[in-house]
Amino acid sequence: MKDTPSQTQIRKEIDSILSNRLFKSARRASTFLKYIVDETLAGHDNQLKEYTIGIEVFQKGKDFLPQADPTVRIEAGRLRKKLEQYYLAKKDEGVEISIPKGGYIPLFRFKASRLPGNDIISRQPAISVKPFESLTSKEPSLITELIFQELKKAIGSSDDFSLLGNTETKPDFQLTGKIYKRRGSFILYCDLIRYDTGAIVWTESFSLKSPGRFPIRMAEAVAGEISTIITGRGGVLYDLLGEEMQNSEEIPDDILGIRILFALHKKLMEPGIAGRLRTALERMINQNENRGDLRAFLSQTYWDFCMDLDWNAMLNHDDSFIFYREKALKLAKTALELDPEGEDTLVCGIRSAFHEDDADALGSLTERLFRSSEVSALSMATGAVLYSLAGGWDSGKPILENTLSLMPSYPGWFHHVTCQYHLRQMDYEIVIDKAERFNQGDVLWYYIYTAAALGLLGNIPEGRVYYEELLRQCPAIKYGLRNFLSNYVKETELADLIISGLETVG
């Protein structure tokens, strides 16, 4: 087979795409896609500029200014997302059409060429801890040694990374530490170094509280915090290795690779990464039928597909929404049966109970998760988010605040907690400020929270601007608002408050 599809194969694929339900009801996306494909096949791809597309596809006037009117860029983003969703659901091999970011010229290739072989070699990255230095008097020498020893214990207990002892084997990363005395207190400075290049990939300082009669407790606390930041899920090494995985097309075949790709998926929510994750999970589940954690990851991925569908699909809970939902529920049930106390299976069960409004299951599973002493900060924070949004603010929000401090990254779905919490407190100005943190993929929530808060403040003219933009981007939301809100707003009184604010400006 040739590396490049023929025009006949490309035109057959474009006909298949345009006849799919994702595109049948999306006139603008269909017109946009057909135009850029036709122009490229005709040899006019050099004319696919933002100005030309604005005039030819979206009927802009000759005075169209792309710098002032982002229509083409916004619609291109939506088209990319629809194409990625289309290929996520299409399992058979064949021609794939994509639109690389930064331009509007489509790329044609065979879908199978994206998948690497099964010869991926992986192992646990190794970390060595270098003895800490005391750069003051002999006074903190005991503390220095205690922290060093406790840190080795903490990193050595990691499921994802191995602690390298005094061997000739070279580590992947090396952790170093120095203690200074400043104004009567001690400061610990830590560096994480990539061993092969000597590059410092992370540095942080920690204030050492007076150990009093129990220096071992202080050493355990500091070592635990450092270990969580570096090796914990969502931590420094997860982010670092995730960036490397993002820039490749590797499909992992080990559990650490799955966890890193899953964390990357949760952070970026890009369909391309989600597709790689699903492929990897399906392969590994076929080979490891009794692993509940693998099914838990795949269940959550399917829930993310539900939440990442076209807005109209979410509003109407159409066939694709129902398909992903049923997949997620079935996988979650099996995962909990296989591993009823596992970290990943508990989080997966909480997610399913949250979306299904099963308060009893949500409360029981969350209680078990919160009681566990072996759960990562990321999983604890996820459980706290969902429990808070379901009404368990008194228990969920304090845990969320404590765990987020241990996580270098701040996933966007936490913004729902801050917005809803301040709505409940009637701090509407704060809601407006917090809503700005929603990214492009969640932009509807930005308009919903902002317009509702402005309406509740009585600022009707400004609130109407946000409400009208909300309707412009998703007209159907006017008739299915409560159904859309139900995906993340589980308290009836809170949903009523948001609807009241929107009705005031609408």
Q: What percent of the chain has pLDDT over 90?
A: 30
In angstroms, rounded to a whole number, what is the distance separating the alpha carbons of residues 316 and 299? 21
Tell me: pLDDT of 167 over 60: no
Establish if 262 belongs to a structural domain.
no
Which residue, 246, 309, 304, is CA-closest to 82? 309
Task: Provide the CATH number for the domain around residue 212.
Answer: 3.40.50.10070
Contact 160, 124 (CB under 8 A): yes
Are residues 294 and 401 both part of a single domain?
Answer: yes
Indicate if the pLDDT at residue 93 is higher than 50.
Answer: yes
- Compute the distance between CA of residue 32 and CA of residue 475 in angstroms, rounded to an integer: 20
pLDDT class for 423, splitting at 50, 70, 90?
very high
Give the side-chain half-sphere CA count within 13 A for 398.
Answer: 3
Lowest mean pLDDT among 48-57, 149-158, 288-297, 320-329: 149-158
| Interval 171-177 mean pLDDT | 91
pLDDT, tens digit (0-9, with 9 covering 90-100), for 270-311: 778 888 999 999 998 988 888 899 999 999 999 988 877 666
* pLDDT-based confidence at residue 136 (cuts at 50, 70, 90): low
Same structural domain, 106 and 134: no
Residue type, 399: I
Q: Kindly report, residue by residue over 348-364, the tens digit of the pLDDT.
A: 999 999 999 999 999 99
| 293 and 401 together in one domain | yes
**Same-domain pairing of 131 and 105:** no
Single residue among 114, 145, 167 that ends a domain in this structure: 114
In this structure, the answer to whether residues 386 and 306 fall within a common structural domain is yes
> Please, which residues have CB within 8 angstroms of residue 172's CB and are 6 or more apart in sequence?
125, 126, 127, 194, 195, 196
- On whether residue 404 sits in a domain, the answer given is yes
Separation CA 225–CA 210 (nearest Å): 17
Q: Residue 141 is which amino acid?
A: S
Q: Please, are residues 126 and 172 in contact by the beta-carbon 8 Å criterion?
A: yes
Domain end call among 359, 384, 410: 410
pLDDT cut 70: percent of the chain above it: 87
Q: Do 390 and 425 belong together in one domain?
A: no
Which CATH number do you get for residue 339? 1.25.40
pLDDT at residue 203 in the model? 94
User: For position 345, what pLDDT does the model report?
Assistant: 94
Give the structural domain span for 473: 416-505
Same-domain pairing of 379 and 329:
yes
Calpha distance 328→324 (Å, rounded) = 6
Among the residue ranges 106-120, 388-402, 405-419, the one predicted with the least confidence is 106-120
E strand intervals along 104-199: 107-110, 126-129, 133-134, 162-163, 173-182, 185-194
pLDDT of residue 123: 59
Q: Is 350 helix (H, G, I), strand (E, B) or coil?
A: helix
208 and 321, same structural domain?
no
pLDDT on residue 163:
81
- Beta-bridge partner residues of 107: 98
Angle (CA) 18-321-499 rounded to 5° is 110
Q: Do 85 and 40 sit in the same domain of this protein?
A: yes
Per-residue exposure over 170-180, b if at least 16 CB sit within 10 Å of its own CB, e if not:
ebbbbbbbbbe
Whether residue 63 is contained in a domain is answered as: yes
Distances 178 to 79, 228, 229, 230 between C-alpha atoms, Å:
52, 19, 18, 17
Nearest to 381 by CA among 235, 180, 218: 235
**Domain count along the chain:** 4
Q: Is the model more confident about 406 or about 174?
A: 174
Whether residue 192 is predicted with pLDDT greater than 80 in this model: the reply is yes
Model pLDDT, residue 116: 33
Tokens 């809170």 locate to: 494
Mean pLDDT for 404-428 is: 78
pLDDT range class, residue 184, cuts 50, 70, 90: low
Establish if 477 belongs to a structural domain: yes
Which H/E stretch holds residue 204?
A: strand 200-208
pLDDT-derived band at 326, boundaries 50, 70, 90: very high
Contact 208, 220 (CB under 8 A): no
Q: Answer for the pair 101, 137: CB distance below 8 angstroms, yes or no.
A: no
CA 264 to centroid of chain Cα atoms: 6
Q: Mean pLDDT across the stretch 369-391?
A: 84
Predicted local distance difference test score (pLDDT) of residue 118 = 33
Check whether residue 294 and residue 400 sit in a common domain.
yes
Mean pLDDT computed over every residue of the chain:
83
Tell me the β-bridge partners of 97: 108
In a domain, 244, yes or no: no
Among 312-321, 325-334, 355-364, the least confident range: 312-321
Count of alpha carbons within 13 Å of 59, Cβ hemisphere only? 2
Which residue type does 377 have?
Answer: A
Residue 236 lies in a domain: no
Stated as kind and residue range, the H or E segment containing 201 is strand 200-208
CB contact at 8 A, 203 and 191: yes
pLDDT at 101 over 80: no
**Shared-domain flag, residues 63 and 154:** no
Residue 457 pLDDT greater than 90, yes or no: yes
Structure tokens belonging to residue 145 = 């040694």
pLDDT band at 365, cuts 50/70/90? Answer: very high
Final residue of a domain: which of 376, 410, 444?
410
Number of C-alpha atoms within 13 angstroms, CB side, residue 217?
6
pTM for the whole structure: 0.68
* Torsion angles phi and psi, residue 178, rounded to 5: -135, 140
- 8 Å CB contact between 128 and 111: no
Q: How confident is the model at residue 161, as a pLDDT?
A: 85
307/197: higher pLDDT:
197
Is 165 in the same domain as 204? yes
As a whole number, mean pLDDT of residues 22-48 equals 87
Residue 463 has pLDDT above 90, yes or no: yes
DSSP structural state of residue 121:
-
Question: Does residue 273 fall inside a structural domain?
Answer: no
240 occurs within a structural domain = no
> Where are the alpha helices (H) located in 98-214, listed in sequence order?
141-156
